[in-house]
Amino acid sequence: MISPLASIHPEAIIGENVEIGPFVFIDKNVVIGNNNTIMPNAIILYGSRIGNGNTIFPGAVIGGIPQDLKFKGEESTAEIGDNNTIRENVTINRGTAAKGRTVVGNNNLLMEGVHVAHDALIGNGCIIGNSTKMAGEIIIDDSAIVSANVLMHQFCHVGSHVMIQGGSRFSKDIPPYIIAGREPISYAGINIIGLRRRGFANEVIESIHNAYRFIYQSGLNTSDALAKIEEEGLTKVAEVEYIVNFIRNSERGIIK
């Protein structure tokens, strides 16, 4: 299962049933779990930690040093969970002293040419479109769909179950369950189709919709809108409570 043309450091730890193609390079201080497929010309560098059942396509580079001038060679990791598909030419840099690790969770699809910068945290079940670029210390919560050629400013936070239009660029947070699009990027409604596909009950979807009516369509400022949502008792629904907490904890502010 391991090509004789692959270059694997003797200190690298490789699990069971791992397929490694020709011209793969695996550095020292790398741990790779079971049942992974690493295709030709992929590069797994120092500090990479890869779980089980992943497929890594040709030209992907995992664990490259951060593109951050503050990085001084400190120990850090690039951590990949289980059952991810990492397509051609994806780059995932390891962390810096800021967080110490870059994390891609489980069951994600990172399409061709995606860049995940230092200290980024990507959750589970996300789809990231071709050539999307994520700057340092961004956070993407579970089940987000980020279309192709999206540019994410450093420190941005993207909520769960969002859909972001291709070609968008943003420097503010995108709250959960919405569609974000247009130019400049803005709120374009809730992601009703996505929520139904994910099995959200109609009553929950309606509560989410009502919350966003206060946030985006009532004319209230954000603080007053959140207070009104609580006054109306909408935060009894866990998904609405998540929305309120997400916005209250936003350091960059949310898109309008």
Does the active-site annotation cover 119?
yes
| Among 115, 118, 157, 161, the one annotated catalytic | 118
Q: What is the pLDDT of residue 128?
A: 98
**Cα dihedral sign for 174, 179, 185, 188?**
negative
Strand partners, 102: 78
118 catalytic? Reply is yes
Which residues of 89-181 form beta strands (DSSP E)? 91-93, 101-104, 109-110, 115-116, 121-122, 127-128, 133-134, 139-140, 145-146, 151-152, 157-158, 163-164, 169-170, 178-181
- According to CATH, the topology of domain 7-137 is UDP N-Acetylglucosamine Acyltransferase; domain 1 (2.160.10)
27, 68, 82, 119: the catalytic one is 119
Q: Do 7-137 and 194-248 have matching folds?
A: no
Residue ranges in the chain assigned as alpha helix (H): 192-197, 202-212, 222-231, 238-248
Q: What are the pLDDT tens digits along the chain (256 aa)?
A: 999 999 999 999 999 999 999 999 999 999 999 999 999 999 999 999 999 999 999 999 999 999 999 999 999 999 999 999 999 999 999 999 999 999 999 999 999 999 999 999 999 999 999 999 999 999 999 999 999 999 999 999 999 999 999 999 999 999 999 999 999 999 999 999 999 999 999 999 999 999 999 999 999 999 999 999 999 999 999 999 999 999 999 999 999 9
| Annotated domain spans of the chain | 7-137, 194-248
* Number of residues that make up the chain: 256
Would residue 136 show up in a list of annotated catalytic residues for this protein? yes
Query: How confident is the model at residue 130, as a pLDDT?
Result: 98
Place of tokens 């291709």: 166
Contacts of 88 (CB under 8 A, 6+ apart): 57, 58, 59, 60, 112, 113
The correct answer on CATH 3.30.1370.60 for the domain covering 194-248 is no
Per-residue confidence (pLDDT) for residue 132, from 0 to 100: 98
pLDDT of residue 208: 98
Catalytic residue among 21, 33, 125, 136: 136
Retrieve residue 157's tokens: 């936070």
CA atoms within 13 A on the CB side of 220: 14
What's the CA dihedral at 101, 105, 109, 113 to 10 degrees? 0
